[in-house]
A and B are shown apart, each in its own frame.
Chain A
Amino acid sequence: MNSTLFPEAEIDEATLRAVDIDRSAGDFSYPENHIYDAGVGLSEATIDYISDVKNDPAWVREFRKRALKVFWDKPMPTNWATKDLENIDFSKIRYYLSSGSTPARSWDDVPEEMKQTFERLGIPEQERKFLAGVEAQFDSEAAYSNIQKAVSDQGVIFVNSTEGLKEHADIFRPWFGKVIPTGDNKFSALNSAVFSGGSFIYVPKGVKVKHPLQAYFRINSENFGQFERTLIIVDEGAEVMYMEGCTAPKFTTSTLHSAVVELVALKGAKIQYVTVQNWSNNVFNLVTKRGIAHEDAEVKWIDCNIGSRLTMKYPGVIMKGKRARGEVISIALANNGQHQDTGAKMIHAADDTTSNVVSKSISVGTGRSTYRGQVHIPKHLKGCKNNTECDALLINSHSRTDTYPAITVRGNQHATQHEASVSQVSAEQVFYMQQRGLSEGEAMSLSVNGFVNDLVREFPMEYSVELKRLIDLEMEGSVG
């Protein structure tokens, strides 16, 4: 294959081929085969159904019901966000679908059609090659869940959230819903009411997990809402990298994906959370992600948003302890008809904390990108630093991009820096590349890859290769 991203000094052809993941074929689905279906619409009965099926402890059932009330009370955030949110009809969504099987530890035990799905997405292959553990979710529940023995022997826990809250309640419960309270926003409340699936990870003190843990979220059913809930707790001095991928088939009706992800990095811990999402363009992707970094800890979000009809996602870091660091590296590609409304929240809550936000968005055709950033440094602190860069690339004149930075810095003992740029792929640039033999699509692709090149280097190699491929596919499809 042809890499436009890397000098060969870094990656040779054989490696590139070896890690190439064919995910272009995300657009397929198998017939639904659900034993458990909460039906269409949302009521207290839906919650009871989910709690019954999942055999929730009483505290979880209560948590869900309180959350449902909060969800109903909260207005849609259409005063600042897009009106497209009003097109979500909560009464037409199915909130829980599962086959009733428990997650298999071996791919051989995964029900055939789910197994085929994940094989087509390349998950078992990736697991063999470079992962320390995999969780593969199919609609509402995990179909497969496995962690390398060497890693679990170190005391690392990697299970789905259902198992986490039951089997590891002593660690799970104190942190659950603490980083992102139920009432944070309407969609975090919705997730809190109907959550199912997602990962629970605990890394004990001092353990540095060498290889990434990966979760894969697959939507297979129409009119469905996927509400996974992920909680990652990394104890003092420990380190982990977690990667998630997501796909859904192209249904004609809309699908809702509304996750809540909470990260806790205790003293000196390091968490890297990598997302490469490639949703089909009927998915409303409304996700709340936030981490707390204690003293000397680091939380880094590396986020790549491709696809979906509307994505609203602003990963945040609360730097709670001294010298904590927060980082958001994000790439968003808004193709025809899509709206990527993304950004970052950096809340400085201790002295000498540092945050960095680098966001690059690409708008193609009628695609629209919005950056919203919040940086908060209160007056009583000293020595806080923030750097924010947001760059937008526009491809053709219909594209639209907006930047809404909100930087609140009080006191005079801090350093902040904000840079923004908007550039365009010009017709003359494309002509130049075409004159060298590239098709229009290849030329666009190359420009886009060039634009995000410095950020892609931040991704783990396996994902950066895939990311380039996804960009190529998007760009090929975007020109006549």
Chain B
Amino acid sequence: MKLEIKDLHVSIGDREILKGLTLDLPKGQVHAIMGPNGSGKSTLSKVLAGHEDYTVTSGTVLMDGVDLLALPIDQRSRAGFFLAFQYPMEIPGVSNANFLRAALQARLPKGQPIDAVAFYKQLYAKMDLLKMDRSFTARSVNEGFSGGEKKRNEILQMAMLEPKYAVLDETDSGLDIDALKIVSDGVNAMRSPERGILLITHYQRLLDYIKPDVVHVMADGQIIKSGGAELALELEERGYDWLTKAA
């Protein structure tokens, strides 16, 4: 069981951004993708989610054997794919609680109402874990949230939707050290043999708190090196140049 990305080529307009990217994320593991700006990391996350600005020119993505690229955006989500956005959107007037309810309701057969009591019980438990105040449920989704609150909210949504595979796109950016710890605790609590997590990050800092099984280095639309957690430390020390030049 894995998220299997094979020789993926992706363009925006006539510019190729992913140039034959191959990566396996087995269930139960946490992988990190690191790489310099413009290497295509965020493109990868958006393509996996199904953003229509990007065109897949060749390659495949299988999620537990299912052709992920053949599914519409919402079906990918319901099939178990989650993206924590780098820049989460605001939805004015829609409370966090109602948004999550709508998302969970969308996963139930038509006509089957969600169990409101169980929903709130679960929501409050996950919020406690992320040290979020109860008043948060009534606030509009991401509206007027600080950068840290938005990122925490992404993790809350992930915790509530319990995806099989989650990509966290620069979830650490804009977080102070306290918020980083809280978010990391939230992610660590989600580690499970039933779930694969892909962290996209610029910085080793996040990996001090969430220890990855595998670290990939991405440059110019490809994975150019993969290794253990120690690879991140090496990157922190030496930068990317030694790798990109070698490639």
The chain A residues found within 8 Å of chain B, CB to CB, are 1-8, 12-13, 17, 423, 426, 428-429, 431-440, 442, 446-447, 449-454
With an 8 A cutoff between CB atoms, is B43 at the interface? Answer: no
Taken together as a complex, chains A and B put the C-alpha atoms of A451 and B91 apart, in Å, by: 9
Is B106's CB under 8 angstroms from A449's CB?
A: no
B184 contacts the other chain (CB 8 A): no
A450 x B93 contact (CB < 8 A): yes
Q: How far is the CB of A2 from chain B (nearest CB, A)?
A: 4
| A450 CB, nearest partner CB in chain B, Å | 3
Provide the residues of chain A in CB contact with B157, threshold 8 Å: 436
Given the interface pairs A3-B98, A446-B99, A449-B93, the reply to whether A435 lies near B83 with Cβ below 8 Å is yes
- Taking the closest CB of chain B, its distance from the CB of A156, in whole angstroms, is 37
Given contacts A3-B98, A4-B98, A450-B140, contact A439 B88 (CB under 8 A): no
For B140, the closest partner residue in chain A by CB is A450
User: Are B89 and A429 in touch, CB under 8 angstroms?
Assistant: yes
Known: A432-B85, A442-B102. A437 touches B97 (CB 8 A): no
Contacting pair B103 A437 (CB below 8 A): yes
Whole-angstrom distance from the CB of A276 to the nearest CB of chain B?
Answer: 19
Contact among A3, A436, A438, A451 with B93 in the assembled complex (CB-CB below 8 Å): A451
Beyond A435-B73, A435-B83, A438-B106, is A428–B98 a contact (Cβ under 8 Å)? Answer: no
Set A423, A437, A449: member contacting B94, Cβ < 8 A: A449
Chain A residues whose C-beta falls within 8 Å of the C-beta of B204 in the assembled complex: none
Which residues of chain A come closer than 8 Å to B161, judged between CB atoms?
A: 436-437
* Whole-angstrom distance between the Cβ of A443 and the nearest chain B Cβ: 8
Q: Is there an interface contact between A431 and B51, defined as CB atoms closer than 8 Å?
A: yes
C-alpha spacing A438/B103, complex, angstroms: 6
Known A-B contacts A2-B114, A13-B116; the reply to A7 vs B106 at CB < 8 A is no
Does B101 lie within 8 Å of A4, measured CB to CB? yes
Q: Which of B88-125 contact A (CB under 8 A)?
A: 88-95, 97-99, 101-103, 105-107, 113-114, 116, 120
Q: Is B74 an interface residue (CB 8 A)?
A: yes
For A436, give its contact among B95, B99, B113, B138 (CB under 8 Å). Answer: B99
Q: Of all chain B residues, which has the CB nearest A6?
A: B98
Question: Does B173 make an interface contact (CB < 8 A)?
Answer: no
Residues of chain A lying within 8 A (CB to CB) of residue B49: 431, 435
Contact indicator A434/B74 (Cβ below 8 Å):
yes
Closest residue of chain A to B46, judged by CB? Answer: A431
On whether A2 and B113 interact (CB within 8 A), knowing A432-B85, A437-B77, the answer reads: yes
| Inter-subunit contact A439/B98 (CB<8 Å) | no
Query: A286 CA to B77 CA in the complex, in Å?
Result: 45
The contact of A437 among B78, B88, B114, by CB within 8 Å, is B78
Binding site for A on B (CB under 8 A): 49-52, 72-74, 76-78, 82-83, 85, 88-95, 97-99, 101-103, 105-107, 113-114, 116, 120, 137-138, 140, 157, 161
Contact B113 A1 (CB under 8 A): yes
Least CB distance from B140 to A in Å reads 7
Question: Are A446 and B97 touching (Cβ within 8 A)?
Answer: no
Q: In the assembled complex, which residues on chain A have CB atoms less than 8 Å from the CB atom of B88?
A: 432
Shortest Cβ gap from B107 to chain A (Å): 6
* Residue of B whose beta carbon sits closest to that of A4: B98
Cα A447 to Cα B157 with chains together (Å):
18
Main secondary structure, interface of A, reads helix
Q: When chains A and B are docked, how far (Å) is the Cα of A453 from the Cα of B143? A: 14
Question: How far apart are the CA atoms of A446 and B120 in the complex, in Å?
Answer: 20
A and B contact pairs by CB, cutoff 8 A, 17 listed: A4-B98, A5-B98, A8-B97, A431-B49, A431-B51, A431-B89, A434-B77, A435-B49, A435-B83, A436-B106, A439-B74, A446-B98, A446-B99, A446-B102, A450-B91, A450-B92, A452-B93
Say how far B31's CB is from chain A's closest CB, in angstroms. Answer: 20
Contact among A6, A426, A438, A450 with B74 in the assembled complex (CB-CB below 8 Å)? A438
Complex: A147 Cα to B40 Cα, angstroms: 69
B158 (CB) vs chain A CBs: closest residue: A436
Contact across chains for B92 and A451 when beta carbons are under 8 A apart: yes
Complex Cα–Cα for A433 and B137 (A): 17
What is the CB-to-nearest-CB distance from B93 to chain A, in angstroms, rounded to a whole number? Answer: 3
**A433 surroundings in chain B (CB, below 8 A):** 89, 91, 99
Contact status of A7 and B97, CB under 8 A, knowing A13-B116, A438-B103: yes
Complex contacts, A4 vs chain B, CB 8 Å: 94, 98-99, 101-102
Closest to A452 in B: B93
Chain A residues with Cβ below 8 Å from B137 are 7
| Most chain B beta carbons < 10 A, residue from A2, A6, A435, A438 | A435
Complex contact B107–A437 (CB within 8 A) = yes
B76, B82, B116: the one within 8 Å of A12 (CB): B116
Contacts of A447 in B (CB 8 A): 91, 94
Chain B, Cβ-Cβ closest to A5: B98
Cα separation A437 to B101 with both chains bound (whole Å): 11
**Beta-carbon nearest neighbor of A427 in chain B:** B52
The answer for the CA separation of A2 and B107 in the assembled complex, in Å, is: 12
User: Of A2, A6, A434, which one neighbours B73 at CB under 8 angstroms?
Assistant: A434
Please state if A428 and B78 are interface contacts (CB–CB under 8 Å).
no
Complex interface: chain B residues within 8 A of A12 (CB): 116
Q: Which of B92, B93, B97 has the most CB of A within 10 A?
A: B93
The chain B residue sitting closest to A443, CB to CB, is: B74
Partner of B106, one of A439, A451, A453: A439
Contacts of A436 in B (CB 8 A): 77, 99, 103, 106, 157, 161
